[in-house]
Structure 1
Amino acid sequence: MSLAQERQLGSPVPVLRVLDGAVGREFYELLGFELLWEHRFEPDMPLYQRLRRDDVTLDLSEHYGDGVPGTVIWVPVRDVRALHAELRPKLWAHQRPGLHEDAPGGPTFTVGDPYGNHLRFCQPPE
């Protein structure tokens, strides 16, 4: 049996708590994420959504008890400077994420969503 066949666990999908799914989705789409699907048990119940950009999959949930506002997700990036240059103009009205060249783990910048969750983009040393 190959190593790939022996593996049983897949990549985790962080669940981020948002109070308004439309606002959360709009913010993450600004970062280049695309909506894969959304679900409600009934029309007046909380919204649950899955978004993806490249290899990063995130779930946004309006459900009480799903996730905790203020969560930090560490995201490895191949070229953090290029991503910073791409996102910074889009975020200008909301925040101005600085690039920290001497951060532990490699050059890093952090972006916060409207609900206090943070994506910490980092280029680890090779």
Structure 2
Amino acid sequence: MKATRIIPILRIFDYQKAVEFYVGWLGFKIVWEHYFEENAPVYMEVEKGDIVFHLSEHHGDGTPGTRVMIWGEGISEYRSELIEKKYKYNRPGLEKTFYGAVSFTVNDPFGNTIIFNEEYVEEKHKDLEFSSIH
């Protein structure tokens, strides 16, 4: 089997808070939104580059407290962009992990955790300042 796309479904409880966090702060864009009927919960897709999430207000779609690990490049630069936005609910520190990554973690308003990782390369990352592990 070869996976061509993996899309986590994350439970949300408030459309405006989800848009503030995922679009306003993390820089995702809304691809589509679906409502089964008027005054129904939203089910939506957001993306940033190759990262795709489905966000759902529907009971039973996902569980609050889900953790998603994302591997990519430019993690420290992306973290710097987020810090510059001064989002009052998240100020993630940069860490060098035990599993050989440069990493930072964000927590969405609904209890979900997203961990952004990049393979640690000594020559490329030697001058980064890392937060202490907590």
Taking structure 1 as the reference length, the TM-score comes to 0.87
Alignment of 1:65-104 (within 5 A): 65-104=60-99
Taking the aligned partners of 1:19 and 1:70, their CA distance within structure 2 comes to 13
**Structure 2 unaligned residues grouped into runs of 5+:** 122-134
SS, match of residue 79 in structure 2 = helix
Taking the aligned partners of 2:18 and 2:86, their CA distance within structure 1 comes to 14
Pairwise CA distance, 1:92: 4.0
Q: Does 1:15 align with 2:6?
A: no
Cα-to-partner distance string for 1:3-55 (whole Å, 9 max, x where unaligned): xxx85x42111000001122112210120100000000101111101000000
**Structure 1 unaligned residues grouped into runs of 5+:** 1-5
4+ residue stretches of structure 1 with deviation over 4 A? none
Amino acid at match of 2:101: G
SS, match of residue 123 in structure 1 = strand
Report the counterpart of residue 119 of structure 1 in structure 2: 114
Report the counterpart of residue 46 of structure 1 in structure 2: 41
Taking the aligned partners of 1:40 and 1:74, their CA distance within structure 2 comes to 28
Pairwise CA distance, 1:91: 4.4
Taking the aligned partners of 2:43 and 2:87, their CA distance within structure 1 comes to 28
Q: Contact (CA 8 Å) 2:96, 2:120: kept in 1 or not?
A: no
Amino acid at match of 1:26: E
Cα-to-partner distance string for 1:61-108 (whole Å, 9 max, x where unaligned): 000010111111111121211011111122441122100023424010
Amino acid at match of 1:14: P
Give the paired residue count.
120
Taking the aligned partners of 2:65 and 2:20, their CA distance within structure 1 comes to 18
When structure 1 is superposed on structure 2, of 25-34 and 86-95 the one drifting more is 86-95
Amino acid at match of 1:95: N
Measured on the aligned residues, the alpha-carbon RMSD in Å equals: 1.7
